[in-house]
Amino acid sequence: MNNGLPVITLAGNPNSGKTSIFNSLTGAKQHVANYPGITVEIKEGKAVSGELTAEIIDLPGTYSLTPYSPDEVAARDYLLEQHPDVVIHVVDASNLERNLYLTTQLMELGVPVIIALNMIDIAEDRGIRIDSEGLSKILGIPVLRTVGNRGTGTEELLKKALSIACEKTSWTPIELSYGQASDNALRILEKRIIETGLLMDMVPPGWLALRLLEQDSHTLNRVKRLSSPEGNDILELSADLADRVFREMNDETEGVIADHRYGFVAGVVKRVKSYSTVNRVYISDRIDRFLTNPFLGPVVMVAVLFGLFQFTFFVSSTPIALMEGFFSWLHTFAWSALPEGLLRSLVVSGAIDGVGGVVGFVPLIMFMFFFISILEDTGYMARIAFLMDRIFRKFGLHGNSIVPFIVSGGITGGCAVPGIMAARTLRDPRERIATILSVPFMNCGAKLPVYALLIAAFFSAKEGLILFLLTLISWTFALLSARMLRSTILKGESTSFVLELPPYRLPSLTSLLIHMWERTWLYLRKAGTVILFASVVMWALMTFPILPADHASSLTDNELAQARLSYSIAGRAGRAFESITKPLMGFDWKTDVALIGGFAAKEIVVSTLGTVYSMGEIDSEDSSSLSERLADEEGWNPVVAFALIMFTMLYIPCIATVAVIKRETRSWKWAGFAIVYTTGAAMIVATVAYQIGMLFY
């Protein structure tokens, strides 16, 4: 129980539809949980059935309780340490054999289990028939048929889970045979564990014996950390018994035990699974013949992504105009309502114009996230990864590097922080570091407001096309970066790549809206906290020290505003950098000030520009949008705007990204290298873009 509520945990293989079940059970009542020592994402929410309320925990997707990746470690550690009341194992009905392996391991652990036989509609479309009642009798656990993305069967699933959770059923491990040699060794080991009481307050002794006999590294380390004589004796005994099984079976105990699990699963499947058709070509396979074709596939992919960007700008243009109109009204209202002085400047220039410049693009962010969710939920995102694998290998990367690249903004709107964390699935350290150092070049959601601002100001006639080209450019630089790193300081051969292609599904509108809102809310929360704070700090840096009165006596209003900015701390820093950036890239000192603020978060480039041009305008009651101000500002033109876009795309990652690079590489050396490397690349590319552009402008 958690705060008096029964705890129901969802577990399952990746692409089993587990998230759809979670969304159907919890709706919008969900958030990312915070468990000490766990860095991967675990979601929790609340579900209500009648008068009962339950805590629902959505674990990361895992194929096994033998952990190899951080996701699998987090899933197993949660089960061992949090002891949920019941586990709903979400099983892909069309891939019963592979999914039931995890079921077997959950039953070995003894946790109360319910099987959600999910995507049963897809299985039946493929001619697969599953006797769910027979499966329930054989395994001795409830089995319910569900279609998660439609919410079919989820209400009954919740009722069944609640009834079991409220019974407070004790953990009862299943007893399987793993062969005579292994069974004899397990009996000896389990007896010794019971005698010493080793970890019996956490896990059943039989399960601990099984993991020790398998020589599971995480279990061995857990026992070693106890630093007890009993634990050390059992570690020695388990090693001796594992060696005895190896000599008798001529195979490692992990392989012997896994073979018997698969044999058990095969026997179960044979009794409950049948086919109504023979040699049927499934709909997903037919579609993939076209969408993953080596020649047609890339053409379709490019067309899909281009259409996504075009349609996003089309549907978001009116809401963006309304948002800009609202902040323009708020600007005028606050200016007239507040007395002249620092307070009015802080509220109008620091808060409203700073944050408003970022929040104004929320409609664009929302629609972008909505369409990306469609690609994810239909299964097409996995096809994009499949198509990109051949390209990635030419640049010295592993195929699984695709996931970090896409999460980081491969389709504009991601974030480098989870992208870098996703690189944990790469086992080769050189491929992993090359991926980590390259993904900051992708177009994360924080860069999108900068792009949107400058595209609206200087390239409004071709908004979708420009954003599509920027996506291609970011991919190009990221892959070239990886190739350079893998050819120099991170040399080595690329390792093999295996990718599961989930079946195509029709996404549920509820699931799409939840995904869209989750990501948009994170963006809004960032705008209301980090960006607001940074905007106020940047306002202070652009306000203080205050220009002495004797410096202002003979100046016009416009000259006075410029002089005050120039005299401030931020103005002085911008002036110092202008001697370098102006001749090379066309950036004036105001732009330099905004780029300095962008180190905290890239959105702050927009909020700082909003503050700069709010404080420096001649008529302080002018509430025209920032895009209009930049388009009319002296010194700005499409070439400068494009150079700034290139610089923003490539230069120093935000503070959060740098911190994650340090944590994931366990070295400040690589974090420092990322800062120097990305900023150097940004300066070179922006300089080339500006110098060549001005030749033709």
* 602 close to 654: Cβ distance less than 8 angstroms: yes
Question: How far is the C-alpha of 469 from the C-alpha of 110, rounded, in Å?
Answer: 54
pLDDT value at 128 more than 70:
yes
The encoded tokens of residue 638 equal 């499409």
pLDDT value at 222 more than 80:
yes
* 160 close to 89: Cβ distance less than 8 angstroms: no
pLDDT value at 340 more than 70:
yes
Residue 284 burial (CB count, 10 A): 19
Tens digits of residue pLDDT in 92-114: 998 898 899 999 999 999 999 99
Question: How far is the C-alpha of 195 from the C-alpha of 204, rounded, in Å?
Answer: 13
Q: Which residues of 542-551 are buried (b: 16+ CB within 10 A; e: fewer)?
A: bbeeebeeee
Reported as a pLDDT band with limits 50, 70 and 90, residue 411 is confident
**Residue 279 pLDDT:** 43
Beta strand 273-275 with 128-130 is antiparallel
Rg (CA), the chain: 29
Taking the model in full, what pTM does it have? Answer: 0.63
* 149 close to 377: Cβ distance less than 8 angstroms: yes
The encoded tokens of residue 568 equal 């401030």
pLDDT value at 379 more than 90:
no
**Residue 554 pLDDT:** 67
Q: What value does the mean pLDDT take over residues 351-380?
A: 78
Helix H segments across 273-295?
283-291
Question: How far is the C-alpha of 600 from the C-alpha of 418, rounded, in Å?
Answer: 17
The encoded tokens of residue 522 equal 């994170």
* 648 close to 441: Cβ distance less than 8 angstroms: no
pLDDT value at 221 more than 60:
yes
Question: How far is the C-alpha of 96 from the C-alpha of 265, rounded, in Å?
Answer: 9
Beta strand 43-49 with 113-118 is unpaired
**Residue 357 pLDDT:** 64
Residue of 621 and 11 predicted with greater confidence = 11
CA-based nearest residue to 478, from 419, 550, 427: 419
* 141 close to 115: Cβ distance less than 8 angstroms: yes
Q: What value does the mean pLDDT take over residues 226-242?
A: 88
Q: What value does the mean pLDDT take over residues 453-474?
A: 88
pLDDT value at 354 more than 70:
no
Residue of 193 and 540 predicted with greater confidence = 193
CA-based nearest residue to 362, from 526, 252, 203, 231: 526
pLDDT value at 502 more than 80:
no
The encoded tokens of residue 637 equal 């033109």
Tens digits of residue pLDDT in 164-213: 988 887 888 988 899 888 999 999 999 999 988 888 888 889 999 999 99
Q: What is the mean pLDDT of the chain?
A: 83
Residue of 378 and 556 predicted with greater confidence = 378
CA-based nearest residue to 235, from 255, 209, 256: 209
Three-state DSSP class for residue 30: strand
> Which of 255-259, 620-624, 652-656 shows the lowest per-residue confidence on average (mean pLDDT)?
620-624
Tens digits of residue pLDDT in 253-275: 888 898 889 899 989 999 999 87
Residue of 445 and 76 predicted with greater confidence = 76
Question: How far is the C-alpha of 43 from the C-alpha of 32, rounded, in Å?
Answer: 4
The encoded tokens of residue 610 equal 């909003």
What is the distance, to the nearest Å, from the Cα of residue 51 to the centroid of all Cα atoms in its chain?
A: 35
Sorted by where each starts, the structural domains of the chain and their CATH numbers stand as 7-167 (3.40.50.300), 180-275 (1.10.287.1770), 296-487 (no CATH), 528-696 (no CATH)
Q: Which residues of 125-154 are buried (b: 16+ CB within 10 A; e: fewer)?
A: ebebebebeebbeebebbbbbbbbbbbbbb
- Whether residue 548 has a cis bond before it, omega within 30° of 0: no
Residue of 301 and 441 predicted with greater confidence = 441
Question: How far is the C-alpha of 567 from the C-alpha of 320, rounded, in Å?
Answer: 35
Q: What value does the mean pLDDT take over residues 518-524?
A: 75
Question: How far is the C-alpha of 109 from the C-alpha of 173, rounded, in Å?
Answer: 5
The encoded tokens of residue 102 equal 């995890």
**Residue 345 pLDDT:** 78
Tens digits of residue pLDDT in 58-84: 998 888 888 766 677 888 889 988 899
Full DSSP string of 565-629: HHHSHHHHHHHHHHHHHHHHH---HHHHHHHHHTTT-THHHHHHHHHHHHHS-SSTT----HHHH
CA-based nearest residue to 416, from 678, 592, 31: 678
Give the containing element (helix H, strand E) for 91: strand 86-92
> Which of 323-327, 522-526, 549-553, 622-626 shows the lowest per-residue confidence on average (mean pLDDT)?
622-626
The three-state (H, E, C) secondary structure of 337-357, written as one string: HCCCCHHHHHHHHHHHHHHHH
pLDDT value at 427 more than 70:
no
pLDDT value at 694 more than 90:
yes
* 97 close to 265: Cβ distance less than 8 angstroms: yes
pLDDT value at 160 more than 90:
yes
How distant, in Å, are the alpha carbons of 110, 385, 690 from that of 413? 42, 17, 26
Give the containing element (helix H, strand E) for 326: helix 296-337
Tens digits of residue pLDDT in 574-596: 889 999 999 999 999 889 988 98
Full DSSP string of 566-578: HHSHHHHHHHHHH
* 577 close to 585: Cβ distance less than 8 angstroms: no
Where do the DSSP E strands lie in 296-416?
none
Q: What value does the mean pLDDT take over residues 144-169?
A: 90
Q: What is the chain's percent helix, strand, coil content, to nearest 5?
A: 65, 5, 25
* 200 close to 228: Cβ distance less than 8 angstroms: no
Q: Which residue has the tokens 């539809």?
A: 17
pLDDT value at 651 more than 60:
yes
Spatial strand order of the sheet with 43-49 comes to: 30-32, 43-49, 52-58, 7-12, 86-92, 113-118, 143-145
Instruction: Quote the percentage of the chain above a pLDDT of 90.
Output: 28
Among 33-47, 183-197, 425-439, the range of highest mean pLDDT: 183-197
* 54 close to 2: Cβ distance less than 8 angstroms: no
Question: How far is the C-alpha of 670 from the C-alpha of 302, rounded, in Å?
Answer: 34
Residue of 416 and 194 predicted with greater confidence = 194
- DSSP 8-state code for residue 24: H
